[in-house]
Structure 1
């Protein structure tokens, strides 16, 4: 098995689940609920909720992956695009430690939520960790906020190697 491909897959799985991939895989309560809903558990319930608007485990996991992220890698640059609809730049904090980029903030209601009859948007505090392909220092990162999209980029430090003299 190709170790690099396995590592890429694990990194992707971590990013997609907000860093909690293995926790969600081995979460016994989730497995129990799945078995009950699939008909294998007591009562033989349908795998689909009777109320399609009911919040379920999948929707709760969606919260862990907010905000949505795209990562683009080139030989000399990495660009991360983070969607933050309805969120102001002042409501977002960005940090880096090694190769972990952390974004946190709060998505607030744009209207009075007491009159809301249906919603698919995420509201509340968020804290997401994104694994970058390289370790980066804060001063190497550029971040620009435009129309609800945060662009984070850095130049890769390419080490082409050097000749080592032998004594």
Structure 2
């Protein structure tokens, strides 16, 4: 058995046990190496993040749902493609129901978010949260008497 495959199987088991994103994906690592679908590229400017997901076979905007939190996007939906009188012989892109969580490289604002679909690609534009202290949280210290 391939050592890389064994390691990725162990990683998936750990994430199933400990929760999503127990390990942070390596930046620049290709999605098929992580066995994630749909494929996603992340682009950024000093002010915004743009996530581009490959969604061939999306029939309507109602077939996909995008949820955003300050550090993560969740995209779920259903992709379908039927060719009358043909049967599927080989499949390289995933069809059917999917869910993909994308860890964002920086904190983003929850509003405004723009999303549009063009030529088989879903574009999601998010503004970076550049407020001073936006990436920090004060922790309250409790005094414990001995």
- Same fold by TM-score greater than 0.5: yes
Q: Distance in 2 between matches of 1:21 and 1:84?
A: 28
How well do the aligned residues superpose, as a CA RMSD in angstroms?
A: 3.3
Equivalent residue, structure 1, for 2:77: 105
TM-score (normalised: structure 2): 0.60
| Residue 14 of structure 2 corresponds to residue 22 of structure 1 | no
Runs of at least 5 residues in structure 1 that lack an aligned partner in the other structure: 1-16, 28-58, 162-167
Q: Please show how residues 17-96 of structure 1 align to structure 2 within 5 Å.
A: 22-23=11-12, 62=35, 65-88=36-59, 89-96=61-68
Report SS of the residue matched to 2:65. Answer: strand
How far off is 1:160 after superposition? 6.3
Partner of 2:93 in structure 1?
121
Per the normalisation by structure 1, the TM-score is 0.54
Distance in 1 (alpha carbons) for counterparts of 2:119 and 2:75: 17
CA distance in 1, matches of 2:40, 2:96: 18
* Per-residue deviation, residues 90-142 of structure 1 (Å, max 9, x unmatched): 21110012311000011113225872233323122100000112333432211
5+ unaligned residues in a row in structure 2: which ranges?
A: 1-7, 17-31, 134-146
Q: Residue 77 and residue 21 in structure 1: after superposition, are their counterparts in 2 closer, same or farther (change >3 A)?
A: farther
Runs of 4 or more off by more than 4 Å in structure 1?
A: 24-27
For the residue of structure 2 that corresponds to 1:109, the secondary structure is coil
Alignment coverage as a number of residue pairs: 110
Change (3 A) 1:21 1:157: farther
